[in-house]
């Protein structure tokens, strides 16, 4: 694939990847029950089949005017056309 805008407009660094939305489950440290206090157990199960790239208008399909969002190592994000 090729990026139409491969370098960050803010800092000039190259794109490191696309911005993604993921769903998952953050596990508890114990089984909950009446009167049982739970905390996060430190493990999250990611549901990879639901992963998707963030678009400029996230509720619309990808088009030349609704581009994927990429990000650099400095944390800046910008839209670009990805050519396959």
Which pLDDT does position 13 carry in this prediction? Answer: 98
State pLDDT tens for residues 8-48: 999 999 999 999 999 999 999 999 999 999 999 999 999 99
Secondary structure E strands in the chain: 2-3, 15-18, 20-21, 24-28, 40-46, 52-53, 69-72, 77-79, 82-83
3-state SS assignment for residue 50? helix
The position carrying tokens 């839209």 is: 79
pTM as predicted: 0.82
């Amino acid at each position: 694939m090729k990026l139409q805008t491969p370098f960050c407009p803010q800092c000039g660094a190259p794109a490191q990847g696309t911005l993604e939305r993921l769903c998952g489950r953050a596990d508890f440290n114990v089984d909950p029950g009446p009167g049982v206090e739970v905390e996060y157990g430190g493990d999250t199960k990611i549901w990879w089949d639901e992963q998707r790239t963030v678009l400029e208008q996230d509720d619309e399909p990808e088009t030349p005017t609704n581009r994927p969002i990429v990000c650099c190592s400095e944390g800046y994000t910008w839209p670009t056309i990805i050519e396959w």
